[in-house]
Amino acid sequence: MADGIPTGRVRRGGRLGLLAAGEVVRGVGIRLSTITATEEARQILAERSTLRTAQQLVTVLGGMKGAAMKFGQILSVLDLDLVPESHRELFRTKLAELRDRAPAAPFATMRAVMEEELGPLARVFADVDETPIAAASVGQVYRARLRDGRAVAVKVQYPGIDDAIAADLRNLELLSNLWRSMLPSAADDAVLAEIARNLDRELDYPAEALTQHRIATRYRDHPFITIPDSVAPYCTRRVLVTEFVDGHPFGHMRDLPSAERDRIGELIYRFYLTSLFVDHEFCGDPHPGNILLAADGRLAFVDFGLYNHMDPAHVEFERACLRAAAEGRGDDLYRAWVGRGIIDPNSEVDASECLDYVRAAAGWHLVDEHLTVTPELATTAVILAVDPRAALFQRMRQQSLPPEHVFSRRADLFTFATIGQLGAGNNWHRIAREWLYDETPVTEVGRAIAAWRDRQPIRVPDGHQ
């Protein structure tokens, strides 16, 4: 164990097992206790249970960091049956601490890492605020000021986090059991395995610094989006220094008027999803903790540890499948899926079921009408996508998403979930037609971005880091 983070497989596995077991027992107790309770008493019991459950998750998963904490962050944007509907918002708010105020390691612990990487802090920084502004799954972020006066954000890895992630990878079965205790319909390990496999990429701060610089350069002078650049001389194996964004967190955005939330939702959609089809690369970790409303009104995106390049041929396959679904060409969709090995031709799955499945899981791109995304709507799409066997599509047991599409589909689903937390509305299909059919933008935001792009130097999208 290193500085409070359990790193061994047995210790981390034990915590996960106890948490999952406790959830089952607590669920039974809640059901029994509410049989004879008055309505007022039931409300009190439900609220107390919700807070206890969420607090236990924050404490256990936040203290473990690594893949376990990433799991809790994902739960915070879903609308699960784990708690009564009347208390789900309370539950999500508490879990949001894993994005915004996760249990912090002492500054002395993190300072030791910073000095091992950068030498005495006084040589680099004029001052460092010892209170972290964010605590993520692999590190904490501090506000600081360089000796030249620039305000910066300093992301520092937890000591022993590499060993902790390795233990989580070995404990995948236990982590999967925890997932099932929270979301019973997630019947296989594919989603969880994908998260665990890619989490170690977040430890590669030198690669992240290069990626962030490249994306910051791309979005320089963008009318609506800003990316803080990395400060290369002070980026090392375990410390990442970037420009500081002075802005409001996601919780502030949720309280804005609906028109402003709709505008922000469109920018989130364009940054996380349109970039895949335009630039053949995308940020694979969409969640509210990575989005800030900057002081100048632009939307800032941070955390590029999971920025992913996708082969243009695979991008075109996804585009073709979504176009087939949008146009009702079930037979073409079915043949494409059989050809890629997604569907076993000897199974009972037919073209109609393939079409219905895509419309259910990705229908927000396809419905030509204004759609306000709610947490309930987004969660339904996630559940249908990750485990169709548990819901309406009983015959899709042979579905096997190829590895090259797992990450992009996850980005799609959790962008939907993030916009659901915002409660933003739009005709998402009209925005999607820009990359589905290469049509000109119809929204004011889209037209302004297109004009900005036209002024940029011509480049060939490659996405390689």
Q: In what order do the strands lie in the sheet with 225-226?
A: 225-226, 299-301, 291-294, 247-248
Q: Which residue is associated with the tokens 């000591």?
A: 159
φ, ψ dihedrals at 239, nearest 5°: -130, 130
Q: What's the DSSP call for residue 80?
A: -
Report helix angle 39-64 to 66-75, nearest 10: 150
Cα-Cα-Cα-Cα dihedral of 411, 412, 418, 419, to 10°?
150
Cross-strand partners of 292: 300
| Cα 5 to Cα 64: distance, rounded to the nearest angstrom | 6
Q: Taking the CA atoms of 453, 312, 229 and 298 in sequence, report the sign of the dihedral they define.
A: positive
Distances (CA, A) of 77 to 66, 125, 308, 407: 18, 36, 21, 18
Query: In this structure, are residues 307 and 464 in contact, taking their beta carbons and an 8 Å threshold?
Result: no
The neighbour count for residue 171, using CB atoms within 10 Å, is: 26
**Three-state secondary structure call for residue 1:** coil
Is the separation of the CB atoms in 235 and 206 below 8 Å?
yes
Taking CA atoms, 363 is separated from 217, 329, 358, 359, 381, in Å, by: 33, 15, 7, 4, 9
Q: Is 33 exposed, middle or buried (0-12, 13-18, 19+ CB in 10 A)?
A: middle
Q: How far is CA 206 from the centre of its chain?
A: 21
Catalytic pick from 79, 163, 168, 285? Answer: 285
| Residue 148 a catalytic site member | no
Three-state SS string across 423-445, please?
Answer: CCEECHHHHHHHHHCCCCCCCHH
Give 143's strand partners: 153
Cα 319 versus chain centre, distance: 22
Query: Are 47 and 90 a contacting pair, CB within 8 Å?
Result: yes
Catalytic residues: 285
